[in-house]
Amino acid sequence: MISDRPDVLIVGAGFAGMYAIHRFRNQGLNVLALEAGSDVGGTWYWNRYPGARCDVPSLEYSFGFSKELEQQWGWPEVFSAQPDILRYANHVADRFDLRGNIRFNTRVNAVDYLEQQNLWRATTEHGEQIEARFCVMATGCLSVPNTPKLPGAESFTGRVLHTGLWPKEKVDLAGKRVGVIGTGSSGVQAIPELAKQAHHLTVFQRTPVYTVPANRKAMRDAVQQEFRDRYHDIRKMQQQNPGGVSGFQPLASVNRPATDPAAPPLAPAAILELTPDQRRQVVAERGLGALLTFRDAYTNLEANEAANEAFRDGVRSIVDNPDTAERLCPTTYGLGCKRQVLDRDYYVTFNRDDVTLVDVTETPIESITENGICTSAQSYDFDVLIYATGFDAMTGALLRANITGREGQRLADKWRHGPVAYLGLQMSGFPNLFTVTGPGSPSVLCNMLVAIEQHVNWIGDCIDYLRENNLARIEPLPEAENDWVAHVNEVAKGTMYTTPGCNSWYLGANIPGKPRIFMPYVGGYPRYRERCEQIVANGYEGFRFR
């Protein structure tokens, strides 16, 4: 039931908010979630663009908190598409009766701490105010779309879309001239589908991407059943894996003798042990994705460059027009710097006559006009302009919520030089306010569902601890928070994520003026989880209570 005096206020009803409702309600807490969208699903509610799908296997990108759910839900594909993941979110909402605790179409514009009352007050866009002892920001890591400020953007008279805010109703692109800006994960997934639908597609690329073919397998009953039989072990394996993915290989999915189904595949060779011809042969025989299996490519800059060059050779072998192929070859950064992108027919799409690639580093976008885009070389007319320009990641949604803590301290001021948080769970000066998969936690470097469950469980246990011990509030000590931020930075140093020339949204580099800090925790999910557990075992080390 919707309550205006909840114990816990949750902002967001994506997978994090949904599980938080279920978990906290089971603890006997009165819970209210506020959600800007008209339904559940978060990322999968907003990102409905053609081609959207997950890059984590669906049997693993699923909740582990309910054995019945695990046993009864069926996935149609190994890597499911957005409509199926949204269907799953809706099923979870129905099955656990979550909607009764969610107020939809309600964006939170401000979150303020009322020190005297020790309450958090959320003010919605409609001016309503809701107060609660605890506030849990389940606002997602990639939920604030980034639309670059291009001169004249408002003057375009055609339709404007953003991949991260795709409309619910079907978008008909038949016969339309479509321009798309951006070639990250969203653009790469959308471009082949947009090309099939549009009369002509023009792709504006600033930085070429390293993308490899995605697994397209339909789910086989035998594979799904093996997972169901082994889920108990698989969930434990997820807890031990740096990325929160078990890596379980069902016997039914591989042509391998019936030995241990969890045995790892053969160790891949080092790329530096192969000649350039041998590297090309690997790509020719096994595809671009084979390059991701050379472990040295992620630990040694020379090996990395060898893999990058083999990748470029692979692109040149797929794309017919040599100039287009060259433009599609990444040269300014290496594999492993950004989130690995997976595609379905990305490069061959550029062999179509109705697809044009424009490199905006050669011919920059000068303005958006009434009719389309004007670059330094020519004008392009469009009926539809699509921004596939990513997100203000990790900190964007938290800052947009205008959070003010103790003594009037604004989160925006505290984070002026980059996010400062303890374990990505709490910030000093903001008592009883928690973030799910906040900056400084493994979050986007982990299977999000695993990361979400761990955070929500930790927060739920913490709230129980406060109640059982008659403690009014909890917040981190500034020194614990600073030490954690230093540790997060330390472990990111020397990884491919922070090599010179690497400009990713992990670093905030995609948003002009955003502080350049590596935001997620790269030390691995198990190490992080153990640290969280140890902190609790040590009486919430690094936190203070009142």
Residue nearest to ligand N01 (CB): 184
For residue 235, give the nearest of 70, 89, 77 by alpha carbon: 70
In the list 58, 80, 139, 183, the residue contacting ligand N01 (rule: CB under 6 A) is: 183
Which of 87, 206, 410, 467 lies at the binding interface for ligand N01 (CB under 6 A)?
206
Question: Given the rule CB under 6 A, which of 389-397, 398-406, 418-426, 480-488 is the region that contacts ligand N01?
Answer: 389-397
- Three-state DSSP class for 16? helix
Please, are residues 21 and 121 in contact by the beta-carbon 8 Å criterion?
A: no
Task: Yes or no: say if 113 and 32 are a contact pair by the CB < 8 Å rule.
Answer: no
- Choose one: 70-78, 292-300, 323-331, 388-396; the region binding ligand N01 (CB under 6 A): 388-396
Task: Please provide the DSSP assignment of 405-431 as one string.
Answer: -GGG-BHHHHTTTS---BTTTB-TT-T
**Placement of tokens 């695993």 in the chain:** 450
Name the residue nearer to ligand N01 (CB basis): 225 or 361.
361
From 83-91, 175-183, 423-431, 460-468, give the range in contact with ligand N01 by CB under 6 A. Answer: 175-183
Spatial separation of the C-alpha atoms in residues 425 and 497, rounded to whole Å:
23
CA–CA separation, 412 vs 395, rounded Å?
10
By beta-carbon proximity to ligand N01, the closer residue of 342 and 423 is 342
Taking every pair of Cα atoms in the chain, the longest distance, rounded to a whole number of angstroms, is 71
CA 21 – CA 28 distance, rounded (Å): 11
Tokens (6 digits) for 527: 């190490």
Site string for ligand N01, 143-162 (x = CB under 6 A): -----x--------------
- Going 509 to 511 to 513 to 514, the CA torsion angle's sign is negative
Distance of CA 235 to the CA centre of its chain: 21
Q: Which residues contact 346 (CB under 8 A, 6 or more apart)?
A: 188, 191, 192, 211
Rounded to a whole number of angstroms, the minimum distance from the CB of residue 161 to ligand N01 is 13
Smallest gap from Cβ 94 to ligand N01, in A, equals 24
> How far apart are alpha carbons 432 and 134 in whole angstroms?
5
**Which of 6, 57, 179, 182 is the binder for ligand N01 (CB under 6 A)?**
182
CB of 79 to ligand N01, least distance (A): 8
- Of 101 and 207, the one with the shorter C-beta distance to ligand N01 is 207
Provide, rounded to whole angstroms, the least separation between the CB of residue 300 and ligand N01: 24
Q: Quick one: which of 314, 330, 390, 440 contacts ligand N01 (CB under 6 A)?
A: 390
Applying CB under 6 A, the span of 265-273, 385-393, 464-472, 476-484 interacting with ligand N01 comes to 385-393
Find the binding residues for ligand N01 in span 225-244 (CB under 6 A).
none
Q: What angle do CA 233, 235, 240 make, to 5 degrees?
A: 95
**Does residue 309 belong to the site contacting ligand N01 (CB under 6 A)?**
no
Residue placing its CB nearer to ligand N01 in the complex, 80 or 432: 80
Pairing of strands 543-545, 474-476: antiparallel
Distances (CA, A) of 238 to 286, 448, 539: 27, 11, 26
- The residues pairing with 204 across neighbouring beta strands, listed in sequence order, are 181, 358
CB of 466 to ligand N01, least distance (A): 34
Query: With binding defined as CB under 6 A, does residue 31 bind ligand N01?
Result: no
Closest CA to 532 of 460, 394, 445, 425: 425
Q: Which stretch binds ligand N01 (CB under 6 A): 57-65, 182-190, 254-262, 307-315?
A: 182-190
Q: How far apart are CA 153 and CA 171, in angstroms?
A: 21
Binding mask 41-70 for ligand N01 (x = CB under 6 A): -------------xx---------------
Cα–chain-centroid distance for residue 503?
17
Residues 185-204 close enough to bind ligand N01 by CB under 6 A? 185-187, 189, 204
Contact track, ligand N01, 107-146, x by CB under 6 A: -----------------------------------x----
Q: Least distance to ligand N01 from the beta carbon of 400, Å?
A: 17
Instruction: Report which secondary-structure segment, H or E, holds 8.
Output: strand 8-11
Count interface residues toward ligand N01 (CB under 6 A): 25
Cα separation, 534 vs 484, in Å, equals 14
Q: Give the position of tokens 């009766």.
A: 97
Of 235 and 339, nearer to ligand N01 (C-beta) is 339
Residues in 459-518 that interact with ligand N01 by CB under 6 A:
505, 510
Contact 36, 85 (CB under 8 A): no
DSSP state of 100: G
Q: Pick from 181, 198, 212, 517: which binds ligand N01 (CB under 6 A)? A: 181
Positive/negative CA dihedral, 82, 395, 188, 159: positive
Q: Which is nearer to ligand N01, 14 or 542 (CB)?
A: 14
Among 101, 211, 389, 428, indicate the residue that binds ligand N01 (CB under 6 A): 389
Q: Of 22 and 344, which CB lies nearer to ligand N01 in the complex structure?
A: 344
228 vs 339, beta carbon nearer ligand N01: 339
* Residues at the site binding ligand N01, with contacts judged by CB under 6 A: 54-55, 142, 148, 181-187, 189, 204, 206-207, 339, 342, 360, 388-391, 444, 505, 510
